[in-house]
């Protein structure tokens, strides 16, 4: 079974631009979560989608948004990029959103804002 696939792996953008990251979950998994990892803040939850609906959202500004498609693939978008948005963005997929469900992560997209 293929794992979680994130594209692209690396991205360099300029301040003020916007960026879209993609995540394809494990086949059969319907829940997709996004996390931001930085050296200073560690791993922080961005949002979670299940069946095309955002079920939960972390404490990030409105510049961070996402969506999920009917095939469970998800995208996250960051508008008006700031230098502080440079981070590793990780996507995780789960079979469901129930408790005690393991989350499987992709390799991440490393975003550098210059």
* Residues forming the site for another protein (CB under 8 A): 4, 6, 31, 33, 35, 42-45, 48, 50, 55-56, 58-59, 88, 90, 92, 94, 97-108, 110
Nearest to another protein of 48, 85 (CB atom): 48
The distance of closest approach from Cβ of residue 13 to another protein in the complex, given in angstroms and rounded to an integer, is: 18
The distance of closest approach from Cβ of residue 105 to another protein in the complex, given in angstroms and rounded to an integer, is: 4
Prior bond of 8 cis (ω within 30°): yes
**Cα 47 to Cα 59: distance, rounded to the nearest angstrom:** 9
Residues facing residue 91 across a β-bridge = 34
In contact, 17 and 85? CB cutoff 8 Å: no
Nearest to another protein of 90, 113 (CB atom): 90
User: What number of other Cβ atoms are within 10 A of residue 113's Cβ?
Assistant: 19
Nearest to another protein of 39, 62 (CB atom): 39
């Amino acid at each position: 079974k293929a794992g979680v696939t994130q594209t692209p792996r690396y991205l360099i953008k300029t301040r003020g631009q916007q960026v879209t990251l993609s995540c394809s979950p494990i086949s059969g998994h319907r829940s997709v979560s996004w996390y931001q990892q930085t050296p200073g803040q560690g791993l922080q939850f961005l949002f979670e989608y299940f069946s095309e609906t955002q079920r939960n959202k972390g404490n990030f500004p409105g510049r961070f948004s996402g969506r999920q498609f009917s095939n469970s693939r998800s995208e996250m978008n960051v508008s008006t990029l700031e230098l502080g948005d440079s981070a590793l963005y990780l996507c995780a997929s789960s079979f469901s959103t129930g408790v005690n469900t393991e989350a499987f992560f992709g390799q991440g997209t490393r975003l550098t804002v210059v």
